[in-house]
């Protein structure tokens, strides 16, 4: 089976190749860049897709705690 094409026309690499896929540390990303990511629809979609919707909910809870 051939690798599917990406939206930019390149071949999607297999995650079996360690150099092709890196692990996203969602806790670190949200800790450092949450305000910037959640300031746009694209950022929210990125977080929801790669980290899960629970990270969107966590930011709402954290903001309520800050007052």
Q: How confident is the model over 21-57, as pLDDT tens digits?
A: 667 788 888 888 888 888 888 888 888 888 888 888 7
Task: Name the 3-class secondary structure at 49.
Answer: helix
Q: Is the pTM of this model over 0.75?
A: no
C-alpha distances (whole Å) from 35 to each of 28, 30, 50, 56, 59 are 13, 8, 17, 11, 9
Which helix (H) or strand (E) covers residue 37, if one does? helix 26-37
Which are the contacts of 52, defined by CB distance < 8 A and separation ≥ 6?
Answer: 26
C-alpha distances (whole Å) from 14 to each of 4, 6, 11, 46, 53 are 10, 12, 9, 20, 25
């Amino acid at each position: 089976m051939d690798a599917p094409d990406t939206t930019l026309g390149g071949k999607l690499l297999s995650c079996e190749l360690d150099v092709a896929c890196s692990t996203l540390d969602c806790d670190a990303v949200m800790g450092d860049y949450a305000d910037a990511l959640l300031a746009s629809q694209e950022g929210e979609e990125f977080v929801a897709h790669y980290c899960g919707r629970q990270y969107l909910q966590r930011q709402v809870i954290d903001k309520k705690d800050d007052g």
